[in-house]
Chain A
Amino acid sequence: MTSIPHPAASAAKMETRRLEIRYGAKAAVKDVSLTLPDRQVTALIGPSGCGKSTFLRALNRMNDLIPGSSASGEILLDGRSIYAGHLDAVELRRRVGMVFQKSNPFPKSIFENVAYGLRIGGLSDRRELGERIERSLRSAALWDEVKDRLAESAMGLSGGQQQRLCIARALAVEPEVLLMDEPASALDPIATAKIEDLIHELKVRYTIAIVTHNMQQAARVSDQTAFFYMGELVEVGPTEQIFTTPRQQRTEDYVTGKFG
């Protein structure tokens, strides 16, 4: 009964099919089939321990680093398995970048922080590096604040600036998908608004998945929202529908603040 097109109507950039992730005997993510539509923002919400962060990390194989973890089911990027031979983990993580809850700049200059991934990728031409860094910092809405102090340590930036620097660092290698795990939870409302505004700009070019405990933030920034509970994907739908007329009682209870 709604004229708002479902975000899933656009092409799938990433997709999981019957994804299950275990830590030893415990299943942290159970049978989750979810599509990240191309150049849309998908918010993953749910209480602590619901599997949303584990799900997010699976999308660029970050869980592979955790001993005892195992995954079954499929994870597709542009319709091809991220575990297929054409794609190693390094290349996957270039295409599917990640921004963490706690900004983690390297104890290096602002310039070198953004240059890091590019240098690893073999880029050494100073001029091209400079152009790519400016472009990344502009995309992360940080350029005007740091352009005169690129040689200074990144550790001297404010929390919000550090987080945008980490976004610039992720963008420098020109990813296609951006995964954000609570990117604004440690920031004040002004820095948070800048990050949220940035997400709106970035989704023109990138497919974004964001984990957040802040339901209003999910409502503000995302096109579709997925509600996870105890490892299961309970409901996914257009964000407006999830926050006005969710179909599942467990979603209803969660978004209205009825917790068990």
Chain B
Amino acid sequence: MVTTHTDKTYEAELRDLRDRLLEMGGLVERAISASVRSITERDSALAEQVKEGDREINRMEVAIDGACRRVLALRQPAASDLRFITTALKIVTDLERMGDLAVNVAERALDLNKTAPIAPLHDLSRLAEMSEAQLKHALDAFVTGDVAKAEDVMRSDAHLDALYLKIFNDLLAMMMEDSRNIRRATSLMFAAKHLERFGDHATNLAEMVVYMVRGTDVRHPRSRAPSGPPGP
């Protein structure tokens, strides 16, 4: 049996906040997916939609930030509620940035679609799928408080990094083969970099989920003072 807050209004406020975060996460998932399709399917109208849709993501960031501040000021949350609110405040920043990265990819699409394609793009599609899946899994872990799933996201980031490196090297080879490829290959390289960064933000989300559930901070393991990790 899950206990709920005795104050039902408070319970509803927290639930609403979680729902809005998920809704925002859904918008970001769709944005990154659409932005890459606007490259692979050479669909500039779709790229414009991504740019337009980012405004809603930005609005949600402001609204969720405000809702978090309101709970902090009026409810003085403690324990898991406090960890949820501080996690929400950080997650919302990552999500907004991820939305911006989708816009950046869409901008590359608008540039690329003006000229002939230079290379098969299945690696880029694959990287986009992986990035999107990382976000989806991080959000699932957030909703269900699933630490194992969050840790899975953190581990999987290495696969994205490896694929990004492969794309980078392939595009580099293409530029060396023919200097007329440089402009388009550079655009693709940026798009791939944005997707890789997108994955890093998903990792941030996953790390915050571990903090939210366990109360232990798992970020920056190599930056810790040797005397012991900083407190939560």
Contact = CB atoms under 8 A, between A and B. Distances in A.
Interface of A: 1-4, 215-216, 219, 240, 243-246, 251-253, 255-260
B232 A244 contact: yes
A256 B232 contact: no
Contacts of B74: none
Given A245-B83, A258-B6, A3 B229 contact: yes
A244 B7 contact: no
Interface string B56-99: 00000000000000000000111111110000000000000000
Contacts of B214: 245
B81 A256 contact: yes
B147 to A, nearest CB: 14
Given A216-B76, A243-B79, A245-B215, A258 B4 contact: yes
B10 interface: yes
Nearest to A251: B79
Nearest to A219: B78
Contacts of A246: 79
Contacts of A3: 227-231
A243 B4 contact: no
Contacts, number: 57
Interface of B: 3-7, 10, 76-83, 214-217, 227-232
B79 A255 contact: yes
A256 B231 contact: no
Given A256-B77, A258-B3, A243 B231 contact: no
Given A215-B78, A244-B215, A260-B3, 16 more contacts: A1-B216, A1-B232, A3-B228, A3-B231, A216-B76, A245-B232, A252-B79, A253-B3, A255-B78, A256-B78, A256-B79, A256-B80, A257-B5, A258-B4, A258-B5, A260-B6
B18 to A, nearest CB: 15
**Which secondary structure dominates where chain B touches chain A?**
loop
- 9 smallest A-B Cβ distances: which pairs? A245-B215, A2-B231, A255-B78, A258-B3, A259-B6, A243-B78, A1-B216, A256-B81, A255-B79
Contacts of A260: 3, 6
22 contacts: A1-B216, A1-B217, A1-B229, A1-B231, A3-B227, A3-B228, A3-B229, A215-B78, A216-B76, A219-B78, A243-B79, A244-B232, A245-B79, A245-B83, A245-B215, A251-B79, A252-B79, A252-B80, A255-B79, A257-B7, A260-B3, A260-B6
A244 B229 contact: no
Contacts of A259: 6
Contacts of B80: 252, 256
Contacts of A243: 78-79, 82
A170 B177 CA distance: 89
B211 to A, nearest CB: 10
Contacts of A245: 79, 83, 214-216, 232
Nearest to B81: A256
A219 B78 CA distance: 10
A243 B229 CA distance: 19
A2 B3 contact: no
Contacts of A2: 229, 231-232
A252 B79 CA distance: 6
Contacts of B78: 215, 219, 243-244, 255-256
Contacts of B77: 256
Contacts of B216: 1, 245
A220 to B, nearest CB: 11
A95 to B, nearest CB: 34
A244 B83 contact: yes
A244 B215 CA distance: 7
Nearest to B3: A258
A4 B232 CA distance: 10
Contact of A4 (B79, B227, B231): B231
Contacts of B83: 244-245
A219 B228 CA distance: 25
B232 A257 contact: no
A52 B82 CA distance: 25
Contacts of A244: 78-79, 82-83, 215, 232
A113 to B, nearest CB: 36
B159 to A, nearest CB: 28
Which of B4, B5, B7, B80 lies at the interface centre, i.e. has the most chain A CB atoms within 10 A of its CB?
B80
